[in-house]
Every structure is written in structure tokens, then in C-alpha cells.
Amino acid sequence: MTVNGDQVTREIEARLLLVHFLRDDLALTGTHWGCDTSNCGACAVWLDGEPVKSCTVLAAMAGGHEVRTVEGLEQFGQLDVIQQGFMQCHGLQCGFCTPGMLMTARALLDRQPNPTEPEIREAISGQLCRCTGYASIVRSVQWAAAEEAGTRTATAHTADSAVKSASSGARADEG
């Protein structure tokens, strides 16, 4: 299969799940192994351009296909805009759900560059954040959408000041 643009070939057991293949065989541990029951979405990766839950896909089923993991978001040392959004707007706390959230959010912005808040919430509805930081995650995706559209000037102030006050402890988390 192709993983983040690289061709990889391995002899594997038929029952090996994609999430374990990525983490244990390829050492791509950015993809998190969470609930194992296709509920939490921490293991979300792209399969042929669409996010899927890699705990419920056999590695063998992905053979010959294109897989993209969270490691594949960064290009030439430059973080993807969605990653920048999560940094700017405090989109992660413990970070466990983050790889899945990033992959799903990136897929959303590719399909719908200017999503509404309900569209963002729908897109990440297959994922759980145990820190319950959903409000910040939604803001992060909105930041990234605005950044990509080149319209962030209007929202930059709000986003940046939110980050500042959150880090100084002046603002309770809304998540």
C-alpha cells in the first residue's frame, strides 16, 4: 500500500488490523489506538482520500490503496493549516483524540472549505474527545478554514486573544 506517499510492502497476517499495521509495523504511532470498537475515532486515517476508522479495517483490505496518516499532514517541514489551527485555538488538551480529529477536519475542509458550525460538529461526530474540548476543536477548524480562505483577519483577533487568555488561565475552558 501507499502510506503518506511512500510505497510499503510487508508480509502480514490476514487478521492484522490497519491501526496495528501502521503503529507496530511502520512505527507511525501518531495514529492512536483507542476504543477498538469503531466508536471513538482516535484511529481515523484516510483510505483513498476519505477518513475511516482503522481499527475496523484489515491491513490486507488496504493493500494496493492509499493511506494517509496524521504524519502525512505536515509537508516539507510546514504544518498543515489544520494543525496550525489546533495550535492557535487550543484544539487539544490531552491530545489522544487529536490525530483522528485532524484527519477528519482536513477531509472536511477539502470537501467544504467554508463549513458552518453544525457541519463541523457533524463531521467530527464519529469521534470522542474525553477532555470534552469540542468547543475549542470547532474553533480550531474554523480558524483553519478562515486561514485557508484568506479571510482570517476578521477572526484572527478573536482566536488569538482566546489563546492568550486561555494560556494565562484567565478564561475557563468552555469545552
List interacting residues with other proteins (CB under 8 A): 13-17, 20, 36-38, 41, 44, 47, 50-53, 56-58, 60-61, 104, 122-123, 125-127
Q: Which three cell numbers stand for residue 139?
A: 474553533
Comparison of 20 and 90: residue with beta carbon closer to other proteins: 20
In whole angstroms, what is the distance from residue 141 CA to residue 7 CA?
30
Separation of alpha carbons 20 and 27, rounded Å: 9
- Locate the DSSP E strands across the chain: 2-3, 6-7, 44-47, 50-53, 66-68
Please identify, using beta-carbon distances, which residue of 40 and 73 lies nearer to other proteins.
Answer: 40
Please state the closest distance from residue 93 (CB atom) to other proteins, in A: 21
User: 171 burial class (0-12, 13-18, 19+ CB within 10 angstroms)?
Assistant: middle
Residue of 45, 50, 40 lying closest to 69 (CA atoms): 45
Under a CB-based contact definition with an 8 Å cutoff, are residues 65 and 48 in contact?
yes
Query: Judged by CB, which is closer to other proteins: 37, or 168?
Result: 37
Cβ nearer to other proteins, comparing 119 with 173: 119
**Rounded to the nearest whole angstrom, what is the least distance from the CB of residue 104 to other proteins in the complex?**
7
Q: How far is the CB of 24 from other proteins (least distance, A)?
A: 11
Q: Closer to other proteins at the Cβ: 16 or 131?
A: 16
Shortest gap between Cβ of 72 and other proteins (angstroms)? Answer: 17
Structural contact between residues 56 and 72, judged by C-beta atoms closer than 8 angstroms: no
